[in-house]
Amino acid sequence: MDNLTPEQRRKNMQAIKSTNTKEEVRLAKALWKLGYRYRKNNKKIFGKPDLTFASYKIAIFIDSEFFHGKDWETQQLRIKSNRDYWIPKIERNRKRDIEVNEYLLSKNWKVLRFWSKEIQKELESCIKKIRQEIELSK
């Protein structure tokens, strides 16, 4: 059972951002500071990656743990309210992530996916992975 009123839940859900999340901004600023130039949320690239390096054909996605189903097999058991909505929604998100990856890989793009918490806690290692891919693509 939901502890919030429908109005409170609606306001909470509206506050969730899909672009320019704290982690996206943090990674983007760190890369910019290092001299890397990218496009944010490029609609021309299938899946609208959070960051793209078109000249290197690198697409970067920063996925939230909840909406993209990190550790899904165990985490889905933790969803207590509105399971009929959330479980199919998150499973569809996971399926779409796979479809996007497969499509981009078929077009010779390199796809890098990071969890939000990775950016939060291990920013330097994420940047290192991106730098390695850029160097390999040169």
Asked whether residue 10 is assigned to any structural domain, the reply reads no
Residue 28 in any domain: the answer is yes
Residue 34 lies in a domain: yes
Residue 119 lies in a domain: yes
Q: Which residue has the higher pLDDT, 138 or 37?
A: 37
Q: Which of 11-15, 110-114, 118-122 has the lowest mean pLDDT?
A: 11-15
How many angstroms separate the CA atoms of 52 and 31, rounded? 12
pLDDT over threshold 80, residue 19? no
- Give the pLDDT confidence of 108-118 residue by residue, as tens digits: 999 999 999 99
* 68 lies in some domain: yes
User: Among residues 128, 129, 116, 111, which one has the least CA distance to residue 51?
Assistant: 111
Helices (H), the chain: 6-14, 22-33, 72-75, 83-106, 116-121, 123-137
Number of independent structural domains in the chain: 1
Domain that holds residue 110: 18-137
Position 9 in a domain? no
Q: What is the pLDDT of residue 81?
A: 83
Residue 37 has pLDDT above 70, yes or no: yes
CA distance 97 to 102: 9
More confident residue, 12 or 99: 99
- DSSP state, residue 123: H
- Statement: residue 58 has pLDDT above 90: yes
Residue closest to 40 by CA, chosen among 32, 31, 55, 28: 28
